[in-house]
Amino acid sequence: MQRFVVEEIGAGPLQNPRTQPGMFKGLRVLIVDDEQGFCWTLTKVLEDLNYMVLSAHTPAQALKHLQSDPQIGLALLDMRLSDVGGTEGLTLLEKIKALSPRLPVILMSAFGTPELKSEATRLGALAFLDKPFRVEKLLRLMREAVGGPIAPNQGSHEFVS
């Protein structure tokens, strides 16, 4: 099972600012990962930050979500979606970009090679996130992907190790 690190050892708690006027509210995030445990954990982290999260474990589920929900504003896509190959995420990325060319997509993988990262960029991925990763890094990439600040929709949250 993949994991991600909430913060570095010895670092203070992650403070998430309250939503300010002009910040993105209600960002709908689609997570596509065949590892249900990882997908569930990442979903819970983002939901705790008050994001709207949809999850899919197969390319067909992901495409169905995208076709039925035009409000999805960001996709987090695992590179390997089965034990068979290793580049199913690239094939899905192509389909996502054909369906929704302006949707920002961040690819994730524990098996990223320079060649795969280059191909992902060529196919339209905004970024490539190596697993395991820190939540802070994911949030920074999400902010860059949507072109502006991202914060929880309401309240203030801390993560402590």
Residue at token pair 């994001």: 51
pLDDT in single tens digits along all 161 residues of the chain: 444 433 333 333 333 333 333 334 578 999 999 999 999 999 999 998 888 999 999 999 999 999 999 999 999 999 888 766 667 889 999 999 999 999 999 999 888 889 988 999 999 999 999 988 898 899 999 988 887 555 433 333 332 22
Separation CA 9–CA 29 (nearest Å): 28
The pLDDT value recorded for residue 95 is 95
pTM: 0.76
CATH code 3.40.50.1980 for 26-146: no
HEC readout, the chain = CCCCECCCCCCCCEECCCCCCCCECCCEEEEECCCHHHHHHHHHHHHHCCCEEEEECCHHHHHHHHHHCCCEEEEEEECCCCCCCCCHHHHHHHHHHHHCCCCCEEEEECCCCHHHHHHHHHCCCCEEEECCCEHHHHHHHHHHHHCCCECCCCCCCEECC
Q: What's the confidence (pLDDT) of residue 160?
A: 27
- What per-residue confidence (pLDDT) applies to 84? 61
The set of residues, in sequence order, having a beta carbon less than 8 Å from that of 124 and lying 6+ positions away, is 93, 97, 101, 105
Going from N- to C-terminal start, the domains of the chain cover 26-146
pLDDT at 66: 95
pLDDT of residue 25: 53
Which amino acid, one-letter code, is at 34?
A: D
